[in-house]
Structure 1
Amino acid sequence: MNFLLVALGGFIGSIARYQISLFTTRRLIGTWIANITGSMLLAVLWHFYITQFISEFWWLLFGVGFCGAYTTFSTFGNETMKLLQNKEYKLAICYVFASLLISFITVASIFYIL
């Protein structure tokens, strides 16, 4: 059953991620939005899971499955490498730091608030 929950969540998460890529036509923005919002959602779900507000069912479906497929670390790495190969060093550095820093700040803020 757990396998199916993660698979279903991953199915939904990958479709949501694809929709963001269609909605945002600018390079890097779709991945950035998915990673930031996915980090925020995962932080909230993790808090709810460890405080037993949500069950393992919901954690596996949305925390592991949905967020795992929705966030896109592999795409983030690929886009960063393309920027470096194109000698867009400043943009690559800004992209990496903005993605990581904002994700960490939002997750820390959510943990602090909750």
Structure 2
Amino acid sequence: MDLFILSVSGGLGAIVRYLVGNIIMEKYPDPPIPMAMLSVNILGALGLGLFYGAYFRYIPMDAYDNLWFLALGIGFFGAFTTFSTFSMEALELFRKKSYQRLVWYVAISLLGSIVMFSVGYGLGLWI
């Protein structure tokens, strides 16, 4: 049953990532940094933080047996966000010698995700 829930929620997260990414790429067809994955990762961090704050009220390190964590934390948000695509896009900026864009992309991605997770977590606690 756990694998079924993980598969469905992960599939939904991947579909939403694809749709959101396409919308952003249509709106910004030639961005200076990869806006689609940057936006998806920051939105995912916000959503995961909101979930943690609202549902758990703390950040559990042993939540793998929790059905909601499996479905939302690992499944949906795990598939919605993507560190592998972030890494590939960062390496591509490096390969193109776009060092300034690379630094901005990495900094905004990492700091933005941490900040937005914190904002989401705080909002979740407030709800």
TM-score range, shorter chain: 0.7 to 0.9
Please list every run of 5 or more consecutive structure 2 residues that lacks an aligned counterpart in the other structure.
59-65
Paired residue secondary structure (2:97): coil
Q: 1:29 aligns to what?
A: 35
Structure with larger RCO (C-alpha < 8 A, sep 6+):
2
For 1:18 and 1:30, the matched residues in 2 are separated by: 9
Structure 1, unaligned stretches of length 5 or more? none
In the alignment, the residues of structure 2 paired with residue 23 and residue 111 of structure 1 have an alpha-carbon distance, to the nearest angstrom, of: 26
Q: 2:24 touches 2:35 (CA, 8 Å); kept in 1?
A: yes
Written as runs of structure 1 = structure 2, the 5 A alignment for 1:14-93 is: 14-25=14-25, 26=29, 28-51=34-57, 56-93=66-103
Percentage of identical aligned residues? 32
Which of structure 1's runs of 4+ aligned residues deviate more than 6 A? Answer: none
Partner SS, residue 110 of structure 2? helix
Give distance in 2, aligned partners of 1:110 and 1:18: 22
CA deviation map 1:2-51 (0-9, x unaligned): 11111111100011111122212235111011100101111111223324
For these two proteins, the number of residue pairs brought into alignment is: 112
RMSD of aligned residue pairs (Cα, Å): 2.0
**Does structure 2 conserve the Cα–Cα contact (< 8 Å) formed by 1:49 and 1:59?**
no
| Partner SS, residue 87 of structure 2 | helix
Distance 1:24 1:51 in 2: 32
Tell me whether 92-101 or 58-67 shows the greater mean CA deviation: 58-67
